[in-house]
Structure 1
Amino acid sequence: MILRTIAILAALTLATSGNAFAAAAQDVAALADKVQKQYQALTSFSADFVQVLDNAASKEKDTRSGRLVFAQPALIRWETEKPEKELLVVGKDAVWNAFPEEKAAYRYSVEEVLGSKTMLRFLSGKGNLREDFHVEQEKDAPEGQAKLRLVPREAEPSLVLAYAWVDLKTNMLSRIAIEDFYGNINDVSLNNVKMNPAVSREQFQYTPPKDYGIFDNTGVPAKPKP
């Protein structure tokens, strides 16, 4: 259930001649390092997102939109508004994925979510582009952006290939597209990105309403709310 909200990966391609390849490799490495340093230096950021989930088997596309908020250390609030409400909260002690229309909430461990190669892992600064991926640069990037092709050094079923678009002014991601083993694609575009906004820590705490069904996938009882 949670994978339909958070899975993602990326990569890029280089020139083939000797000197050109060396120069391009240096440029790509430098860009990857800038992106990495930017995310690790952030105290917080927020953005509007549009997410397109492309099902390879059915050929159907599911488009969602909402708001994303991040704060150090690895706190994330991913709130889908359309076409139906969904809330994903990565807190200090647990991850909650809630579906108001179903009156259901799913609980996961933070290690389970951020330990795998997902979009959330990268956005939280837990991932590392050059350590986790073979990084190359694509040529078909929009003006003012760089497009990277990311091939994981250790592939997982949820992530076998990814593309990342980088805003060259801010060194922040503007779009990420991830492909899984089955050919499904999770494509997320970020707009209205704000760096280091004031963020309330209460946004990263969640307690399911009493009438919700709770499905615990951690094996550890939830702590009672003070």
Structure 2
Amino acid sequence: MNKLFLTCTLVLMTLGPGLAHADALDRLQEYLSETRTLRGHFSQTVVDRNGRKLQNSSGNMVFARPSLFRWVYEKPYAQIIVGDGKKVWFYDPDLEQVTVQRMNLAIGQSPAALLAGSNDIEKHFRLKDAGTSDGLEWLLATPKSGEGTFEQVRIGFRGSHIEVLELKDNLGQTSRLQFSGLQHNPALASDLFRFKPPKGVDVIGDR
């Protein structure tokens, strides 16, 4: 689930081929410049390279750019992932276990960096227009470094709002996150981005 999360975080095909790339970057920059916080629900589907469904999950998430986030998986089982700006906490209640990683190692060039990261996207990703389908405008982002666990990310926009994020990993699996009920720039309590391990759980990693 950890790698699937580092899923979650850019779009636009225009009529004029000479301007398509510039317009797509304009749309991405519009999202980055206008979105400070984000709250909403997500549903996630994972399929293998043959299109066979492997997993469905759902939950809710909040972001406060550039480096605060909280993802709560509710179905089929619970998991909480909190980024506090310095570290990322992965809590699995069923295993009674918390895994801690430094923020730069957990995020790095992951898809989460596209959603909650800094504006310096082109430093880490190659961006390319991917056309229009399913009523959405798409942008393809591929990491410049080959050290990550994914090959590419497609992000679908409706207007300037992100609606779908698709991640293809190095095993050929594709994770699709569909966002709904999004609230842009809501006021968020700071304690949403703090995590204190429950008593009695095992804590692994760089605490």
User: What TM-score, normalized by structure 2, do the two folds share?
Assistant: 0.87
Q: What amino acid does structure 2 have at the position aligned with 1:68?
A: M
2:32 pairs with 22, 35, 39, which one? 39
Q: Alignment partner for residue 87 of structure 1, among 77, 80, 87?
A: 80
1:6 aligned onto 2:6? yes
Cα distance change of structure 1 residues 25 and 90 upon mapping to structure 2, 3 Å threshold? farther
Residue 152 (structure 1) aligned with residue 127 (structure 2): no
Q: Judge conservation of contact 1:76–1:204 (CA < 8 Å) in 2.
A: yes
SS at match of 1:24: coil
In 2: Cα distance, 1:67 partner to 1:210 partner: 24
Give the CA deviation at 1:10.
Answer: 7.0
Q: Where does the alignment leave 5 or more consecutive residues of structure 2 unmatched?
A: none
**Residues 61 and 13 of structure 1: CA distance in aligned 2, closer, same or farther (over 3 Å):** farther
d(CA) in 1 for partners of 2:138, 2:27 = 14
Could you tell me which residue of structure 1 aligns to residue 64 of structure 2? 71
Displacement of 1:125: 3.2
- Map 1:132-171 to 2 at 5 A: 132-139=125-132, 141-143=133-135, 145-168=136-159, 171=160
Residue deviations 1:144-192, cap 9 Å, x none? x312233334344422122211111xx1211011111210112111111
Alignment of 1:101 onto 2:101: no
Contact 2:67 2:83 in 1 (8 A): yes
What percentage of residue pairs aligned between the two structures are identical?
18
Aligned counterpart, 2:118: 126
Report the secondary structure of 1:47's partner residue: strand
Distance in 2 (CA, whole Å) between partners of 1:10 and 1:40 is 13
- In 1, the alpha carbon distance for the partners of 2:51 and 2:38 equals 35
**CA shift at 1:142, angstroms?**
2.8
Q: Which residue of 2 aligns with 1:48?
A: 41
Counterpart of 2:173 in structure 1 is 184
Q: CA deviation at 1:130?
A: 4.7
Q: Deviations over 1:85-129 (max 9, x none)?
A: 1000000221100011111111010111222x2221111133655
- Structure 1: distance between partners of 2:13 and 2:20: 12
2:198 pairs with 1:205: no
TM-score, normalisation: structure 1: 0.80
The residue that corresponds to 1:193 in the other structure is 182
Q: Is the 8 A contact 2:126 2:141 kept in 1?
A: yes
Judging by fraction of residues, say which structure has more strand: 2
Aligned length: 206
Q: Which moved more, 1:56-65 or 1:205-214?
A: 56-65
Higher alpha-carbon Rg? 1
Q: Is the 8 A contact 1:9 1:159 kept in 2?
A: no
- RMSD after superposition: 2.6
